[in-house]
């Protein structure tokens, strides 16, 4: 069943075209990887899905409803999603406070907050670090804390912008495990941007290849790597693309 549908979308910043001719359907419960060179438009597309960015042209259909931009509609949709930024921000407070934030703004009570924060920290392997100042976490730990913050309110959709860049292999493996676990336990729909081809092979169901703001191919992981339809996809996944 489809959860997102993008129709003929274009995003322009002044004269600069960041995305164009985008048609894409994301299915509920799938793990969808967005790949493409730096500047191709991956982050912009995630921001469109998250309703942070308004399309210059075209539209986004979420759960069968065309989002025409009424404030309440957007807010309700956004509450079901969580976007983990490329460079996660860390508040100058404890790990617990950092993770609790999303629940507090949703008005959760104290007991629920306590329970869900501990649960999220356990999932990312940071149980016991609640009282630590978040700013003193290592890079890998900070990334896992940001992940806990993204999943703490059980979003239906998790949008991840390069969730494992700058991590060592052990932390990469942990994050990938968490992604798989969240999807199988909660049926969460996951869309992630990455430069890591092996990661896509390990965890994605389907892949979209972005090039210069255009989605040149969307296909199953198997097809993308074994029998791509577009010659540029082949060049990209084989690391032969010059950019
Ligand atoms: N707010 C903005 N104003 C102007 N240009 C922007 C803005 N946001 C993005 N762009 C441009 O749009 C293009 C796509 O950017 P985007 O961040 O989506 O790329 P990306 O695929 O995520 O790249 P990377 O892999 O480096 O993160 C880039 O050329 C970028 O400079
Ligand atoms: Mg980006």
- At 194-218, the pLDDT tens digits run 999 999 999 999 999 999 999 999 9
Dihedral sign of CA atoms 18, 22, 26, 31 in order: negative
Task: Over range 60-76, report the average pLDDT.
Answer: 84
Which pLDDT value is given to residue 240?
80
Q: Measured between alpha carbons, how far is residue 93 from residues 74, 101, 131, 194, 237 in Å? A: 29, 11, 9, 29, 41
Separation of alpha carbons 167 and 146, rounded Å: 13
In short, whether 52's Cβ falls inside 6 Å of ligand 1 is: no
Q: How many A from CA of 43 to the centre of ligand 1?
A: 7
Instruction: Label residue 72 by pLDDT band (50, 70, 90).
Output: confident
CATH of residue 120 = 3.40.50.300
Q: Which two tokens stand for residue 223?
A: 């097809």
Average pLDDT over the chain reads: 93
165: in domain: yes
Q: Are 113 and 123 in contact (CB under 8 A)?
A: no
Chain centroid to CA 234: how far? Answer: 24
Q: Which of 226, 225, 228, 199 is nearest to 216 (CA)?
A: 228
Total of domains in the chain:
1
Residue 243 domain-assigned?
Answer: no
Task: Look at residue 33 and give its three-state secondary structure.
Answer: strand
**Which of 85-94, 146-155, 175-184, 219-228 has the weakest average pLDDT?**
85-94
Output the residue whose Cα is nearest ligand 1's atom 7: 13
Residue 178 counted as domain residue: yes
> 80 lies in a domain?
yes
Cβ burial 188-220 (10 Å sphere, 16+ → b, else e) = bbbbbbbebbebbeebbebbbbbbbbbbbbbbe
| CA–CA dist 106, 134 (Å, integer) | 22
Predicted confidence at residue 243, as pLDDT, reads 57
Residue 242 falls inside a structural domain: no
Range of the domain at 200: 2-237
Residue 107 pairs with which residues in a beta bridge? none
Burial class (CB in 10 A: 0-12, 13-18, 19+), 61: middle
Which residue's CA is minimally distant from atom 29 of ligand 1? 39
- Please identify, by atom number, the ligand 1 atom nearest to the C-alpha of residue 193: 22
Pull the structure tokens for residue 204.
Answer: 């994605």
Please tell me if the CB atom of residue 233 comes closer than 6 angstroms to any atom of ligand 1: no
Whether pTM exceeds 0.75: yes
Q: Are 33 and 194 in contact (CB under 8 A)?
A: yes
Q: Residue 69: pLDDT above 70?
A: no
Interval between CA 165 and ligand 2 midpoint (Å) = 11
Confidence class of residue 242 from pLDDT cuts 50, 70 and 90? low
79: in domain = yes
Share of the chain above pLDDT 70, in %: 99
The answer to whether residue 62 is domain-embedded is yes
Nearest ligand 1 atom to alpha carbon 213: 14
Q: From the CB of 39, is ligand 1 less than 6 Å away?
A: yes
- The neighbour count for residue 147, using CB atoms within 10 Å, is 27
Write the DSSP symbol of residue 133.
Answer: B
CB of 22 closer than 6 A to ligand 1? no
Does residue 211 contact residue 36 with C-beta atoms inside 8 Å? yes
**Tokens, residue 31:** 């793990």
Indicate whether 82 belongs to any domain.
yes
User: Does ligand 1 come within 6 angstroms of the Cβ of 91?
Assistant: no
């Amino acid at each position: 069943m489809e959860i997102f549908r993008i129709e003929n979308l274009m995003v322009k910043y002044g004269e600069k075209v960041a995305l164009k001719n985008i048609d894409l359907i994301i299915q509920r419960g799938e793990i969808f990887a967005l790949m493409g060179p730096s500047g191709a438009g991956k982050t912009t597309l995630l921001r469109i899905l998250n309703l942070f960015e308004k399309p210059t042209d075209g539209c986004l259909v979420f759960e069968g409803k065309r989002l025409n931009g009424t404030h309440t509609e957007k807010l309700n949709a956004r509450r079901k999603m969580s976007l983990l930024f490329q460079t996660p921000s860390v508040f100058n407070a404890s790990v617990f406070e950092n993770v609790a934030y999303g629940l507090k703004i949703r008005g959760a009570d104290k007991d629920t907050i306590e329970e869900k924060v501990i649960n999220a920290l356990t999932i990312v392997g940071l149980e016991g670090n609640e009282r630590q100042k978040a700013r003193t976490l290592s890079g890998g730990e900070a990334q896992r804390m940001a992940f806990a913050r993204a999943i703490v309110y059980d979003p239906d959709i998790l949008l991840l912008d390069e969730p494992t860049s700058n991590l060592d292999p052990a932390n990469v493996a942990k994050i990938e495990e968490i992604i798989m676990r969240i999807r199988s336990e909660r049926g969460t729909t996951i869309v992630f941007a990455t430069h890591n081809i092996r990661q896509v092979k390990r965890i994605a169901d389907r892949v979209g290849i972005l090039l210069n703001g255009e989605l040149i191919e969307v296909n199953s992981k198997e097809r993308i790597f074994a029998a791509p339809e577009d010659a540029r996809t082949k060049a990209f996944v084989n690391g032969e693309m010059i950019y």
